[in-house]
Amino acid sequence: MSGLEIERKFLVKGEGYKQQAYGQSHIKQGYISSSHGRTVRVRIRDERGYLTIKGPSENGGLSRYEFEKEITLDEAEQLMKLCEPGIIDKTRYLVKSGKHTFEVDEFFGENEGLVIAEVELGAEDESYEKPDFIGQEVTGDSRYYNSHLRKNPYSNWKSEMR
């Protein structure tokens, strides 16, 4: 898959998303490079590997170029050894809302307690139905980018959010 990624990102209220989820998977990901808004990410999702390259964010963090290719699990495990320090560990829940699917990420480790939902859109002005667990929008807030959570985990700054 490659092309323009358009998504909105939100904090999540409560745990209602777990009962509404139609699927879930465990994700571990690391970053070979994460500077100047460009990232090269290695991901292991359940037993499958992926290599993803993302360009810098545009329009306040709403869109960016993304290239993703499935790789073998062995390749992903070997590439994880090349990653910068700090691995993201999370469970992703898939929740249908209208014609969209919200991806809800519950983080572990140093990002424990953080739950973020994302919805991918076909256009920046596309409308969507918000599920009841959707909280404050954080689209464009770099603190919530996975590549930043790796360097500055939620545990370092969550007390500032209260």
Please give the positions annotated as active site.
Answer: 31
Q: List the one residue out of 132, 127, 146 whose CA is nearest residue 66.
A: 146
Q: How far is CA 49 from CA 24, 43, 94, 99, 157, in A?
A: 16, 6, 19, 27, 31
Estimate to the nearest angstrom the gap between the alpha carbon of 139 and the chain centroid.
Answer: 11
Give CA–CA dist 24/88, Å, rounded: 16
Q: List the one residue out of 64, 61, 74, 91 whose CA is nearest residue 5.
A: 64
The HSE-up count of residue 7 (CA atoms within 13 Å, CB side) is 21
